[in-house]
Amino acid sequence: MHPAAHRGVGPAATLRAAMITPRSIRHCRVCGAPTDYRAPPEDNRERAICSACGTIHYENPLNVVGTVPVFEGKVLLCLRNIEPRKGFWTLPAGFMELGETTAQGAGRETLEEAGADIELGPLFTVLNVPHVGQVHLYYLAQMRSAALDPGPETIEARLFDESEVPWGELAFKTVHATLEHFFADRRRGQFGVHCADIA
């Protein structure tokens, strides 16, 4: 998808958005009857609407939350043990759960995937990934010790010097972008918040 497709508003943008809407809801979550995708009255895009009870199922982007854990100048990466991208390196991150904040989710994922004891720092990257309907948010984090205890989603968790980062074996573009910003900011001696769109 061309990045320009995500910009702008109006009929063309609405049409494009409708085309990339994931058509994943085939049955009503309330009564189980089949759904049809059509635009409800006074709406501008198609929704899964129950053919029996009329419930409209809205689908919206999901938040992925994670951290850039650092210990003595090294960055923590996890080798993924699950699809997608099994066998590739990632920063600890995962889908935000209901009832938690973005910061809580980032801390939870870091504990679950790496077993790292961290002090969460400020928000660092906000990365839109519209072609998969996700927003990825990464926080800076300081590890209190080098102790790690990876969970079942992780084959191996380890600390990398900048020169050791396996750039060609990273799991996701958002991980690549976040690490690039991290090392660039560290060279500058000043960390900011980076917002970007990932095509």
Which residues of this chain interact with Zn ion, rule CB under 5 A?
28, 30-31, 33, 50, 52-53, 55
In this structure, are residues 88 and 80 in contact, taking their beta carbons and an 8 Å threshold? Answer: yes
Distance CA 172, CA 15 (A): 27
Contact 95, 108 (CB under 8 A): no
**Minimum CB distance to Zn ion smaller for 56 or for 147:** 56
Please report how close the Cβ of residue 12 comes to Zn ion at its closest, in angstroms: 33
Choice between 50 and 65, CB closer to Zn ion: 50
**Shortest Cβ 29–Zn ion spacing (Å):** 8
Query: Residue holding tokens 């800076």?
Result: 140
Q: Which lies closer to Zn ion via its Cβ, residue 16 or residue 57?
A: 57
Beta-bridge partner residues of 137 = 65, 126
For Zn ion, the closer of residues 28 and 148 by Cβ is 28
| Residue 162 C-beta: closest distance to Zn ion, Å | 53
Contact 39, 47 (CB under 8 A): yes
CB of 46 to Zn ion, least distance (A): 17
Q: Which is nearer to Zn ion, 33 or 193 (CB)?
A: 33
Phi and psi at residue 189, in whole multiples of 5°?
80, 15
Of 48 and 93, the one with the shorter C-beta distance to Zn ion is 48
CB of 34 to Zn ion, least distance (A): 9
Torsions phi, psi for 124 (to 5 deg)? -120, -50
Tell me the C-alpha to C-alpha distance, in Å, between residue 151 and each of 65, 99, 183: 17, 22, 27
Q: Smallest distance, Å, CB 98 to Zn ion?
A: 22
Rg (CA), the chain: 19
**Which DSSP category does 185 fall into?**
H
